[in-house]
Amino acid sequence: MSAETVEARAPAVEARSRARARKAFWLKQLYAWHWISSALCLVGMLLFTVTGFTLNHAGRFEAKAQVVSREANLPPDLAASLADLPRSGRVALPEPVRAWLSDALGVEARGREAELSRDEVLLSLPRPGGDGFVSLDRRNGAMLYERTERGWISYLNDLHKGRNTGSAWSLFIDLFAAACLVFCLTGLVLLQFHAARRPATWPVVGLGLLAPLLLTLLFIHA
């Protein structure tokens, strides 16, 4: 091959080399984002997969609720403070009452509002896997505390749904969803890169789209 021919082909060879380098760079980036997002999603995906099954078959995983009740009386000075609350609406309990509930019952009332009526102050205590309430009689300070436990499966199911889990868990679900989106999108682009060597790639992807679509159209009716 003459020097002139080599020189003429040099720009094309250099362009192909740059294209291969760009492809290798983006493949490296995609693999990095894909494995990082998959690592971040791993435990959360296992949790949501298992609880998706238990929620879909809730009748097979029913738990017998365990209810604990306690009765007591507020100290006279704390009972008297209930009279200063409005007759209706929702307000935070006075700090001394919250402190007494924490010491006597282990109830964390901070950040919660109680529902007021003429005769009663009702503090709801919903949480994942259970429920509870504190009822305070405004006339004499009599207190009824009830706590309901529905077991670990109910607890994990409520985590799946974000039910009564608070803002921190809600933020986790949002971040987890974002990581799953990165995982799926990078996986889709990687499929595109490797599809030429794997002829079954797009038929399988199409099946993954077609199966839920057909089930929705044929078996789910309003």
* Alpha-carbon span 67 to 60, nearest angstrom: 21
Q: What is the structure's pLDDT at 6? A: 47
What single letter denotes the amino acid at residue 165? T
pLDDT confidence of residue 7: 53
183 CB-contact burial (10 Å; exposed 0-12 / middle 13-18 / buried 19+): buried
Q: What is the pLDDT of residue 5?
A: 56
150: Cβ–Cβ under 8 A, 6 or more apart, which residues?
63, 65, 66, 129, 130
What is the torsion angle, in degrees rounded to the nearest 10, for the CA atoms of residue 18, residue 21, residue 23 and residue 28? -160
3-56 and 166-194 helices cross at what angle (nearest 10)? 140
* Per-residue confidence (pLDDT) for residue 51, from 0 to 100: 95
For residue 220, what pLDDT is reported? Answer: 87
Per-residue pLDDT tens listing for the chain (222 residues): 555 554 555 566 666 777 788 878 888 998 999 999 999 999 999 999 999 999 999 888 887 889 999 999 999 999 999 888 998 999 999 999 999 999 988 998 888 999 999 999 999 999 999 999 999 999 899 999 999 999 999 999 999 999 999 999 999 999 999 999 999 999 999 998 888 888 899 999 999 999 999 999 998 876
Report how far residue 125's alpha carbon sits from residue 113's, in angstroms, rounded to the nearest whole number.
Answer: 10
* The pLDDT of residue 62: 81
124 strand-pairing partners: 133
Closest C-alpha among 114, 113, 129, 110 to residue 169: 129
pLDDT given for residue 26 in this prediction: 83
Tokens of 46: 């296992």
